[in-house]
Amino acid sequence: MFGIVRNSGRVRAALALAVVTVVTGCGALGATGSSPSSSGGGPEKTTLKVSILPTTDLAPFWLAQDEGYFRAEGLTVESVIAASGQASLAKAISGDADIAFSTYPPFFTARSTGAADMELVADATSVNAKSNAIVTVPNSPVKTIADLATAKIAITAKNTASDLLTRSIMQDHNVDFSKVKWVLIPLPNIAAALQQGQADAAYLPEPYITQAAKTAGAIPVIDINSGATQDFPLTGYGATRKWVKENPKTLAAFQRAMQKATHDATFDRAKVEPLLVRFAKIDEDTAKLLTLPGYGAILDSRRLQRVPDLLLQLGAIPSPIDVNSMIGPQAGR
């Protein structure tokens, strides 16, 4: 199983963010404990609903709730659990949630198909060393990445991060995926599917990598953090363009709280592990062993452009998308 890995580049980025935050006064409480949002009037909405998936990517969000960072910005934030990234987006589109957490592909496919006019409002995670992998089990016919060409590979759904990153890394290694039998299985069920031979290999993020290693003896075939998918943008938060336009102060308050929480989660793993046990429902041993993703809060258009470019290359969207057209206003920018 994968051990704990620190991503020095992400740490340096987080440190830089912390310095900017202190200088601009946009991410932390003042000496008196007052919120920066109080100087220009409070948020348009004081109760904010955010649709989420209970994964390790949410650690900064849970930290912001647990440590009172949202409360300090005048927000009461409620979690709305979604079954998938697409379902999370649907909740924001329908108004059941104000902000949606998801892997990035659904935001871009929604724009491409005209299903919704979404804006990205905060970054969440990137692929980190050993945080996402294609795995197999000892009795599987898959031993190397070349064996994936004719394998049954478990993913969550087509045109999701699991599908796109698997195909991308196979392409990097000149492995044809046209004959792959894609097996659609929810993440919690993949370890059992590998054990039972329903799949020969699977794409897994943490904490499922560590859990599958413990329950099914899963071993990595290849780390996703390599080649075209190294440090790949993985998850973020979005809202409809209409909501962003109508709630600029609410959005800025959410972003400030998330920036502070992301800094703390990056530098202090001890704050993260108990949250994973409580909210992601994993055991303490797994929380200690798993590899965390690379956390981020500020949206970088040059980095995020990799997502729609990959979607276009793999035929998941029909035409190019300029990420700059989808990035909403950011606190401190």
What pLDDT does 54 receive? 83
Ordered domains of the chain (ranges, CATH): 45-126+230-323 (3.40.190.10), 130-227 (3.40.190.10)
Structure tokens at 3: 């051990």
User: Consecutive 10-residue runs of the chain (333 residues): their mean pLDDT?
Assistant: 40 39 35 40 93 92 97 96 89 97 94 94 96 96 97 92 95 96 94 97 95 96 94 97 97 98 95 94 92 94 96 95 96 74
Q: What is the pLDDT of residue 285?
A: 93
The arrangement of strands across the sheet holding 219-223 comes to 181-184, 152-155, 201-205, 132-136, 219-223
Whole-number pLDDT of residue 1: 42
Distances (CA, A) of 13 to 26, 226, 252, 263, 264: 17, 20, 21, 10, 13
Q: What is the pLDDT of residue 287?
A: 93
Q: Any idea of the CA torsion for 226, 164, 102, 88, to the nearest 10 degrees?
A: -160
What is the predicted pLDDT for the residue at 40? 60
pLDDT of residue 333: 67
Cis previous bond, 248, omega within 30 = no
- Dump pLDDT digits (tens) for 249-304: 999 999 999 999 999 999 999 999 999 999 988 999 999 999 999 999 999 999 99
